[in-house]
Chains A and B, each alone.
Chain A
Amino acid sequence: MASMEKRLQKELTALMKDPPTGVKVDAESIYKNLSEWIVDLDGAPGTLYAGESLQLLFKFGSRYPFDSPQVMFVGPNIPVHPHVYSNGHICLSILTEDWSPALSVQAVCLSIVSMLSSCTEKKRPPDNAFYIKTCSKNPKKTRWWYHDDNV
């Protein structure tokens, strides 16, 4: 537990001091003793999501950073994207089986911004209706099939 808090405190300090473009986190959006964060993202200029304000919810377990955080979109604007379900769940391999402890909140945010930026057509995943009816509340409890790295 101690190592998780120590690591998260360091990540938070670094992110608040030197945030990458379009990523914002402040002390007010940290909950439950560092284990839940809300991070504000801006859609990158020149992409389909330019000008959109987005929010990511991060939940960290006691085994972080060895286990991946639970990450999903929350708030009024869930981006319409082929890998983002309308309940906010994201199909991105680094969030489950390709997670590495060398990644961080910042790396996840940048991956998600990059995933959005390379999108060429705003649409929901083809199985959206079925998925949101049957899935768990926790996206990490879904066994994802990562079929398309190009979107």
Chain B
Amino acid sequence: MADDFQFDPELNYDEATLEQQRQIEKDIADAQPLISDRIGLDQVIKEYTAGEDQVFVRKIEEMKSTYKCVRKTRADGNCFFRAYGYACFENFLTDKADYKRFHEVCDKTKDDLITLGFPQFTIEDFHTNFMEAVTKLETIDQEELISMFNDQGLSDYLVVYLRLIVSGLLQKEHEFYANFIEGYATVKDFCGHEVEPMGKESDHIHITALTQALGVPVQVLYMDHSEGSKCNLHVFPEDSKPSITLLYRPGHYDVLYS
């Protein structure tokens, strides 16, 4: 196939590539809501029995002894932020003990970001929308929370602000975090390329920073093709007892429930 390729100077290859990329994004958007309802693990297993992925089938079977279902997120590169944000907000619908602290922490992030030199104008815009959502947690129910997260405009506002919180924390503690970034000269550079833009995928460093900034720990169950039938569980930060669990499959995060 590659041998047959002949460069045609009249064709715009960039445009064709980007068109194809947009079509793929649209197909994903049509097939998968930003945040789904709860889906039983038996349903999740079916994704792998057809493809005969015995390792994943075995691992999900094992997982069933502890967990019951997942809530899927759209694979748009923002899945960690959307999954964590949703699970976090969902807990505060019922757990009022920690809510006041959470509200205060979120409220304070704006001044921290502005002090760090983020543009006041846009930070205020995102902060206002984020705080409106946090304040609503006092009165709304699960169903309203799902529709909040599936309203793309609002949902993306929340993702952006969570990304800004991560960027803010990494920059505030840049001396420490500089040890964990590769390929960028500074933490600020890293944030500009890998944290702040929408659709950039998250790694351990994003998770560590967000849980630290909000004081809401998370555990992530990593499912990969390694040997054995158990998935590895990582807790952020290490000595905490999180009430939120995420399921990681290569390149993607969903919320996991027991």
A-binding residues in B (CB < 8 A): 9-10, 12, 14-15, 17-18, 118-119, 121-123, 125-126, 153, 156-157, 160, 163-164, 192-193, 196-198
Contact = CB atoms under 8 A, between A and B. Distances in A.
Interface residues of A, number: 25
A3 B132 CA distance: 15
Interface in A1-44: 2-3, 7, 10-11, 14
A104 B197 contact: no
Contacts of A3: 153, 157
Contacts of B12: 134-136, 141
B14 A136 contact: yes
A98 B197 contact: yes
Given A66-B156, A97-B197, A98-B193, A103 B14 contact: no
Contact of B197 (A11, A100, A143): A100
Interface string A91-131: 00000011111111011000000000000000000000000
Interface of A: 2-3, 7, 10-11, 14, 65-66, 97-104, 106-107, 133-136, 141-143
A14 B157 CA distance: 20
A106 B119 contact: yes
Given A103-B119, A135-B12, A98 B192 contact: yes
A94 B196 CA distance: 11
B122 A65 contact: yes
Contact of A102 (B14, B15, B119): B119
A141 B19 CA distance: 9
Contacts of A99: 197
Contacts of B193: 98
The majority secondary structure among interface residues of chain A is loop
The majority secondary structure among interface residues of chain B is helix
B122 A102 contact: yes
B150 to A, nearest CB: 15
Contacts of B18: 141, 143
A101 B14 contact: no
A141 B14 contact: yes
A10 B197 contact: no
Given A107-B119, A141-B15, A102 B126 contact: yes
The 3 A-B residue pairs with the shortest CB-CB distance in the complex, in nearest-first order: A100-B196, A3-B153, A101-B160
A106 B192 contact: no
A102 B196 contact: yes
Contact of A14 (B9, B17, B121, B163): B121
Given A7-B125, A141-B15, A141-B18, A104 B119 contact: yes
Nearest to A102: B122
A56 B156 CA distance: 28
10 contacts: A10-B125, A97-B197, A98-B192, A101-B156, A102-B119, A102-B164, A102-B196, A136-B14, A141-B14, A142-B14
A61 B29 CA distance: 18
Nearest to B151: A3
A143 B196 contact: no
Contacts of B126: 101-102
A65 B119 CA distance: 14
A66 B14 contact: no
Contacts of B197: 97-100
A103 B9 contact: no
B111 to A, nearest CB: 15
Contacts of B9: 133-134
A106 B121 contact: yes
A142 B16 CA distance: 10
Nearest to A141: B15
Kindly name the residue among A100, A106, A133, A135 whose own CB sees the greatest number of chain B CB atoms within 10 A: A100
A142 B12 CA distance: 9
